[in-house]
Amino acid sequence: MSLIITKATLGRLPVYLEFLKKQKTEYISSTQIARSLELGEVLVRKDLNSVCGLGKPKIGYDREKLIASILDALGVNKNISAVLAGAGQLGTALMEYKGFSEYGVDIKAAFDNDPKKIDHTFANGKKTYSIDSLKEYCESNEIKIGIIAVPQSEAQAVCNKMIECNIRAIWNLTTYSLVIPDNVIVKNENLALSLSFLKTCMLRNEEPDIDSTLRNED
C-alpha cells in the first residue's frame, strides 16, 4: 500500500499542503495541482500516491483526506518541543515567530549565557534562562530539537551541551560546521550562504532551485 516516501517527495509535501489548504473544492485532480505548482503531473501523482492511495479516476483526490494524509506523513500532528540557544536578534525573531506551531513545533524556551538576557520575557510570554539550566529543563520537558543561534565561536560548545541533554536533532543557524556523532541529525540553515547563492544565480542568470544550505558537512 504505502510506498516509500523519498526525500524529494518529502520536500514537496509541504508545498502541496499549502496549495491544498487554499483550495475550496471537495475533490482536486493531480492535473490541477501540477499546473498550479508547475510540476509534472505524473510526479504529483507519484508523490500523492506515496502518502495515500485514494485518488479516484475521473474525479481526483479527496482534498480533506489528502490534507490529512500529508499532515500525517509529515508528522505535523505529533507535537515536538524545542529549545533555542542564543537570545540575540535572530534568536528573538525565532522565539517570537508564529509559523512554527503550524507544523507542530513549539520552541518552549531560550537559553543564553549573558546575564543581561537571562530572565527576559518575550512578547509571547516565553522566557530566557541561563544556559546552565539547559539540562534540567530538557529532561523535564521532553525536548527533542535544539536550535543554535549563538555566535559562531560558541556554536560547537553549545551543540555539545545539547547532545549531552539527549537532543537528537539540531537546527544550526550559525555558519559553523558542527561536528556531531552519527546518531544526531543536523540541518544547517546558513542564511549568508543562502543569500549568496541567490546572488550567484542572479549573476549567472539562473533559477535558484537548488539550495546550497542543503549539504551536511563534516
- Chain residues that interact with DNA, rule: CB under 7 A: 6-9, 29-31, 39-43, 45-46, 48-49, 53-61
Count other Cβ atoms within 10 Å, centred on residue 65. 12
Q: Which of a copy of itself, DNA, none does 203 bind, CB closer than 5 to 8 A by kind?
A: a copy of itself
Beta strands in 38-162 (DSSP E): 61-62, 80-85, 105-112, 128-130, 143-148
- With beta carbons less than 8 A apart as the criterion, state whether 175 and 215 touch: no
Candidate segments 46-54, 56-64, 128-136, 200-208, binder of a copy of itself by CB under 8 A = 200-208
Among 1, 8, 116, 121, binds a copy of itself (CB under 8 A): 8
Q: Which of DNA, a copy of itself, none does 214 bind, CB closer than 5 to 8 A by kind?
A: a copy of itself
Pairing of strands 143-148, 27-28: unpaired
Give the separation between CA 12 and CA 116, rounded to whole angstroms. 42
Give the separation between CA 18 and CA 14, rounded to whole angstroms. 6
Identity of residue 41: E
Does position 74 bind a copy of itself by CB under 8 A? Answer: yes
Q: Which is nearer to DNA, 38 or 182 (CB)?
A: 38
Dump the DSSP string for 3-58: ----HHHHHHHHHHHHHHHH---SEE-HHHHHHHHT--HHHHHHHHHHH----BTT
Q: Which is nearer to a copy of itself, 57 or 81 (CB)?
A: 81
Grid cell in block for residue 74: 509529515
Does position 207 bind a copy of itself by CB under 8 A? Answer: yes
Number of residues that bind a copy of itself (CB under 8 A): 72
Q: Which is nearer to a copy of itself, 93 or 157 (CB)?
A: 93
Least Å distance, CB 205 to DNA, is 16
Binding characters for a copy of itself, 148-187, by CB under 8 A (x = yes): --------------------xx-x---x-x-------xxx
Does position 64 bind a copy of itself by CB under 8 A? Answer: no
